[in-house]
């Protein structure tokens, strides 16, 4: 029910038991160092317990009663990020947590209480949503947020803002011009001094950047990664390989005029890697991507799946389907199934979440 753990070969792990009713979808997950799983979304009950849109499970999938949320969030949780010190950053469409005002972002202690040392003030505003959709942690501990907003806590910031460790706005990251001209839906570090931005934008500071751009830690474009040719559509998620190549997924039909169906791999200079995704199989709308240590690629999708897979596929390192993974299995829903986030455990098992009711062999 909405969260499952799979073995490395894609079969259901029966040791992670989550079959009780969850009243709505799960939008995000985060894996703690101790193996516990944080899940967030629009749901208000999980496993029959009131939880206020965020919950933590034990390694067996049962609700962790030591994570006390009270009334929880009064709006949907969109992303969760666990800091190295165990504190938990949360963004979403909420204005309060357990009765304490917090405008679309807060930080929780490891026991579920709100951290009063982190305060974003009035948070994101403007745009069509006034919301943050993605976040990534810099080596400094500062947090870069991407989304759909025109200001943050009163400071003019267009869809991107860097926050200090106490939640205040930093002036160390200032994009050129007006920055991205539309939503930033995903952020991913590329090494220690570069960050990749993906989303719905077509320009970054007046420079063509169709759905993807790489910048340094001040917000300036990295000209060595040229994506001006760009995607015909938008990018939902990004992963960086150990060799620096970038895999992007989303809702697009091509890159730089070359046909690609919702997944593409780019070389370190931003050109299309023609050795990847040579299969003729169309990918359904792709929500998320994860990289295995052996170079294989996990793809979270919307129904219907392809080659007998439902909502989750594994690709070989050259982009062809891995037919040994999840053969004849899938994650299904009574209405519309989606896998929209994944986390890989150190033992190779996979935590997946979305809007599914069954994981079947």
- Model confidence pLDDT, tens digit, residues 275-299: 997 665 555 678 899 999 999 999 8
- Structure confidence at residue 334 as a pLDDT band (50, 70, 90): very low
Say how many CA atoms lie within 13 Å of 271 toward its Cβ: 4
- Structure confidence at residue 326 as a pLDDT band (50, 70, 90): confident
Instruction: Kindly state the tokens that stand for 17.
Output: 């038991």
Q: What percent of the chain has pLDDT over 90?
A: 70
Buried b (16+ CB within 10 A) or exposed e, 118-139: bbbeebbbebeebbbbbbbbbe
pLDDT at 239 over 80: yes
Region 242-270: mean pLDDT is 94
Tally Cβ neighbours within 10 Å of residue 318: 14
Inter-residue contact 176 to 195 (CB < 8 Å) = no
Strand partners, 171: none
Report pLDDT for 284.
63
Question: Based on C-alpha coordinates, what's the Rg of the chain?
Answer: 20
Q: How far apart are CA 314 and CA 161, in angstroms?
A: 34
Report pLDDT for 46.
83
Buried b (16+ CB within 10 A) or exposed e, 271-286: ebbeebbebeeebbeb
pLDDT at 222 over 70: yes
pLDDT at 115 over 70: yes
Inter-residue contact 93 to 104 (CB < 8 Å) = yes
Q: For the sheet containing 155-156, what is the strand order? A: 124-125, 151-152, 155-156
Q: How far is CA 184 from the centre of its chain?
A: 11
pLDDT at 353 over 70: yes
Strand partners, 351: 5, 343
Report pLDDT for 6.
86
Between residues 24 and 91, the one the model is more confident about: 91
Inter-residue contact 309 to 329 (CB < 8 Å) = yes
Q: pLDDT (tens digit, 9 = 90+) per residue, 15-51? A: 887 656 677 778 899 999 999 999 999 988 887 788 8
Average of per-residue pLDDT values in the chain: 89
């Amino acid at each position: 029910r909405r969260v499952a753990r799979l073995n490395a070969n894609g079969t259901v792990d029966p040791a992670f038991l989550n079959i009780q009713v969850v009243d709505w979808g799960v939008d995000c997950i985060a894996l703690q160092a101790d193996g516990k799983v944080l899940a967030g979304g629009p749901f208000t009950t999980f496993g029959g317990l009131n939880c206020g849109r965020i919950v933590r499970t034990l390694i067996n999938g049962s609700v962790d009663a030591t994570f006390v949320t009270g009334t929880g969030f009064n709006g949907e949780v969109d992303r969760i990020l666990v800091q190295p010190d165990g504190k938990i950053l949360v963004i979403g469409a909420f204005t309060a947590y357990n009765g304490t005002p917090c405008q679309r972002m807060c930080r929780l202690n490891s026991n579920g209480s709100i951290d009063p040392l982190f305060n974003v003030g009035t948070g994101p505003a403007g745009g069509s949503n006034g919301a943050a959709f993605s976040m990534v942690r810099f080596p400094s501990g500062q947090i870069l947020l991407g989304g759909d907003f025109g200001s943050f806590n009163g400071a003019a910031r267009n869809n991107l803002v860097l926050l200090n460790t106490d939640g205040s706005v930093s002036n160390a990251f200032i994009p050129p011009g007006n920055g991205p001209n539309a939503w930033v839906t995903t952020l991913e570090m590329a090494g220690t001094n570069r960050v990749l931005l993906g989303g719905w934008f077509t320009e970054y500071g007046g420079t063509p950047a169709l759905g993807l751009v790489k910048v340094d830690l001040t917000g300036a474009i990295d000209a060595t990664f040229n994506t001006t040719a760009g995607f015909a559509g938008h990018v939902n998620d990004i992963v960086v390989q150990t060799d620096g190549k970038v895999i992007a997924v989303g809702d697009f039909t091509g890159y730089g005029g070359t046909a690609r169906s919702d997944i593409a791999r780019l070389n370190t200079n931003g050109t299309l890697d023609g050795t990847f995704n040579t299969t003729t199989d169309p990918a359904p709308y792709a929500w998320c991507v994860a990289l295995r240590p052996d170079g294989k690629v996990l793809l979270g999708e919307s129904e219907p799946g392809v080659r007998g897979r439902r909502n989750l596929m594994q690709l070989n390192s050259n982009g062809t389907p891995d037919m040994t993974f999840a053969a004849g299995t899938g994650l299904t829903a009574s209405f519309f199934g989606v896998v929209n986030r994944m986390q890989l455990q150190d033992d190779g098992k996979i935590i997946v979440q979305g809007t599914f009711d069954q994981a079947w062999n």
